[in-house]
Structure 1
């Protein structure tokens, strides 16, 4: 009996989730959103700068790269994202959110900054890979921390808006590119300066992040409940210092937690597809469908404008602005509805409407009635809805699995979806565009590509409708039981584990 008592895991009573979810919205939450959410802006900026760098990097006055080498730079960055997500996703669940969102940002700063000093193709490709690993790791640490520190009634709109700011970075990159890649800046310097912009912004943010505390929820589920409660105490003092009133906590929502079990890769897979099979299918579908559509359209955007509408290469950046604005405004305007109307209904709506509108756009494209301007307008409307849906995909995989696996869940499904959507979509659509010239264009093959993308999005919406999770307004612990939970509060509404398939 004594030996059993000595080896039994210690447990602690915790009110951390209830205390965090009842907090009013204050400057502290803005600090979390701005300090952590900038990672998506950096990613959008990086991708856009590299896209606009394609032509300058092939010039003899710079690195004189081939078009194939320019394509490999994008591939290297994408592979780095996948590797970074998988590697740092596990570390953020093991070592904590704060350590990782500092480390991953530093890695990005190093990779992108040194990239601006590259002397040949191989040095630049290595730097792009390093920068990608940093951004991939950012996804896991940032989404985990934001979801765990934002009150449940605001979580949907905040997460969706933050993920949508990728397009603010893309718009910023387009604006910067119009100046850097023009006659105002020597071509041998413009591309290098472009790689320094993200690190300069990141240096400011890394100091801001130092004042953001560790996630109290992560501390609670890793045997550090006293530290978790003390962290919430400090957050409440900061909020009260701002003049806001902290509501009383509901004692009936207390949890009893113990140290989490060690989870290896095979146990992780068993939890995803054995304990939560429907949720895993749901999360994978959301991530893969949006990845396919976005990579298909975004990576062939310039080619379509050039091949089918004869837009000069130097003018393509102008067409990115309305496209980026549509992608940015969608999550900002529609995000609150994911909290009020609900996740499942809004995902079905945004995925379904974007798919139907893309079918309309494909029909008009095939009929030859669109111009470069009206084609861009159609895409902007389509992605107004699609961007909100795509942003909700990251929210979905972040909140429907146990807290101890949050970072790994994001990385797991991100890696799978990028491996499918990230690699297949640009290849398929690039093949459909082919080597057509401006005098003899054939819209038929690419039209079918758009139809496929539209059907895939509609399927994603239907999957959300039938097996989606209504998680709006609920505590993360009520959506999925933490692995470290000993017992639930009386009257808890946490769903039971799904039966193994």
Structure 2
């Protein structure tokens, strides 16, 4: 076992100490996710501007006009297009990172996002806005799967929890920014453009800078080794070790090879094999459940506030205040991410989310609404970093990207239909109807994650031996 080259590569990665070199890798990968999160979260904040432009009136929606009974004049079609694109990207193209490598797909999908989102910003009908939103979503879906896979393979096992927490701290820092931009630019026409178009373009233009920063990230040595490209993997790991020791760290300990995975190119069918079928089902159902709460609140918070009697302009201000909480959930999580079992973190967060949304549905005082919104957001983001790490840990390197893509895709398609469902519930039953839908979904997610394996502090190879 100890002579297996791929297992040796993995053991050498897992012995690396917490260092500037390792955390720089996490930072660079995280910067790649910043504009994907910017894109996902501007949905709720640009909704009032898009609706005010008349883009979601029946005559602008074309074949989507059949959805006109939805609340907020058909904006649910935009939410649907977003997550339908993410679903296609995660499900049908998630395998490409297993086939062509993490680094290649990591950079290529960002380029896809930049181009498609820029085109989307200049559309003048709801129909074509939705079409380009769908196309851009495909690239984002591939990107998010690749980021999760990348972090799990490059970071030592004892640091993975904090790495995912830090990753989401960085990416969620952009949520208050997009909320602030939407709030501060509302009613203005920068460069002669409607404010919501400028909000979209800022994400696309800013991603260009990040694209260059990401060129310094190496390919995953674990992936290279499993492809039989041992020499390339050796060079990357040796360079990481050299940089770590140059920082002044003591001589690295001998690598401890505890277990080994099967090498070679994996097959999609493996995720349904007796070894991984249980995990596939658990994480697929969990993903469908968790996304109802996570994006059901985040994408609709201004509209939920309006339904609680808050004026449309004031709702953006309150939404901005709530959005400020986004980075602090993962930041607080760094204190316990590697000390508490991943499943426990997820379950506690789901319970708090259900309680917060139930109370939110009954509240009317601005301070209470904001406080409950902050509590929900903090809990949702703890749940998010914990489960992103968890679902990447429970599948082996040879099929990790396609497995994560498959289970994650169920959250994308569930979010697409949840966006439509929440629009209908909000229109017919108000915030209490939405809150009931979210609370039930959190309960389903709670049950599912309890059935999964423990992963804290274990190497990827030991989890998937």
What TM-score does the superposition give when structure 1 sets the normalisation length? Answer: 0.81
RMSD value, Cα? 2.9
- For 1:392, the equivalent position in structure 2 comes to 386
Greater C-alpha radius of gyration: 1
Distance verdict in 2 for CA 1:75–1:445, change over 3 Å: closer
Return the alpha-carbon distance in structure 1 between the equivalents of residues 162 and 147 of structure 2: 15
Deviation at 1:322, TM superposition (A): 3.1
Instruction: Provide the rounded CA distance (Å) in 1 between the counterparts of 2:75 and 2:351.
Output: 35
Kindly provide the CA deviation profile for residues 15-46 of structure 1, in whole angstroms up to 9, marking residues without a partner as x.
11111111122232233222221344313322
Q: 1:138 and 2:143 equivalent? A: yes
| Corresponding residue for residue 67 of structure 2 | none
Larger RCO (CA within 8 A; separation ≥ 6): 2
1:425 aligns with 2:425: no
Query: 2:222 maps to what in 1?
Result: 217
Cα distance in 2 for residues equivalent to 1:313 and 1:82:
31
Other structure's SS at 2:157 match: coil
Aligned to 1:478: 462
Judging changes above 3 Å, is the alpha-carbon distance between structure 1 residues 297 and 58 closer, same or farther for their aligned structure 2 residues?
Answer: closer
Partner of 1:196: 201
1:257, 1:49 → 2: CA distance? 42
Residues 184 and 123 (structure 1), Cα distance of their counterparts in 2 relative to 1, 3 Å cut: closer
Contact 1:85 1:415 (C-alpha < 8 Å) held by counterparts: yes
Q: How many residues align?
A: 451
Q: 1:319 maps to which residue?
A: 318
Structure 1 residues 13 and 40 mapped into 2: Cα distance closer, same or farther (>3 Å)?
closer
CA separation of 1:402 and 1:123: change in aligned 2, threshold 3 A:
same
Equivalent position to 2:212, from 195, 204, 207: 207
Displacement of 1:405 after TM fit?
A: 1.3
2:31 aligned partner: 38
Q: Displacement, 1:164?
A: 5.1
Pairing 1:106-121 to 2, within 5 Å after superposition? 106-121=111-126
Alignment of 1:1-400 (within 5 A): 12=5, 14-58=7-51, 65=60, 70-163=75-168, 165-183=170-188, 185=190, 188-250=193-255, 252-253=257-258, 255=260, 258-261=263-266, 263=267, 265=268, 267-271=269-273, 274-309=274-309, 311-362=310-361, 365=362, 369-400=363-394
Distance 1:221 1:164 in 2: 31
**Contact 1:76-1:125 within 8 A present in 2 as well:** yes
How many angstroms does 1:89 deviate by? 1.2
CA offsets per residue over residues 113-169 of structure 1, 9 Å max, x none? 222343544543343223211211111111111111111111012213423555322
Check conservation: 2:283, 2:449, Cα contact below 8 A.
Answer: no
Change (3 A) 1:94 1:372: same
Per the alignment, residue 68 of structure 2 pairs with: none
- Gaps in structure 2 of 5+ consecutive residues: 62-71
Change (3 A) 1:119 1:297: closer
Instruction: Determine if contact 1:82/1:415 at 8 Å carries over to the other structure.
Output: yes
Give, in whole Å, the separation in 2 of the partners of 1:104 and 1:97: 11
- Whole-angstrom distance in 2 between the partners of 1:116 and 1:135: 16
Cα displacement (A) at 1:229: 1.3
Instruction: Provide the rounded CA distance (Å) in 2 between the counterparts of 1:113 and 1:125.
Output: 13
Which blocks of at least 5 consecutive residues in structure 1 are unaligned? 1-10, 436-443, 482-501
| Residues 100, 304 of structure 1: alpha-carbon distance in 2 compared, 3 angstrom cutoff | same
> Counterpart in 2 of 1:402?
396
The Cα of 1:378 is off from its aligned counterpart by 1.0
